[in-house]
């Protein structure tokens, strides 16, 4: 899937809502807020960095990134999830993690967000 600004805004919007910065928040109110996105180090991650610039310009919310090589990706972020770490506000996980992550309550339902 090719990342788009819409994809980034939707994903980050869910995280922002969890922080209490809702749709009624102005860019001025969002100043100083940051979201840390964690993912594998590869070319699509570089595209997200570029897309984040427009997201930050439109929302006032800064983006930080934690990119890890594929060889360490699963260990690094599964440890982050299982230890309830605070490094990542949003992790782009591997599809193979869905079952275990769902059982461990590591997914957030977005149903209400999309209503």
∠ Cα 25 28 30 (to 5°): 55
Domain locations in the chain as residue ranges: 42-108
- Structure confidence by residue, pLDDT tens digits, 38-93: 999 999 999 999 999 999 999 899 999 999 999 999 999 999 988 989 999 999 98
Sign of CA dihedral 66, 100, 51, 64: negative
What does pTM read for this prediction? 0.68
C-alpha triplet 59, 107, 88: angle, nearest 5°:
55
Q: Tokens for 34, please give them.
A: 């940051």
CA distance 50 to 47: 5
Q: Are 94 and 73 in contact (CB under 8 A)?
A: yes
């Amino acid at each position: 899937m090719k990342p788009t600004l819409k994809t980034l805004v939707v994903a980050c919007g869910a995280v922002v809502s969890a922080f209490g910065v809702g749709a009624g928040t102005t860019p001025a109110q969002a100043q100083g807020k940051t979201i840390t996105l964690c993912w594998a180090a590869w070319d699509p991650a570089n595209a997200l960095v570029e897309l984040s610039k427009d997201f930050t310009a439109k929302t006032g919310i800064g983006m930080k990134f934690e990119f890890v090589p594929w060889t360490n990706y699963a260990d690094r972020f599964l440890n982050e999830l299982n230890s309830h770490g605070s490094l990542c506000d949003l992790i782009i996980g591997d599809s193979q993690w869905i079952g275990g992550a769902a059982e461990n309550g590591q997914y957030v339902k977005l149903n209400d967000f999309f209503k």
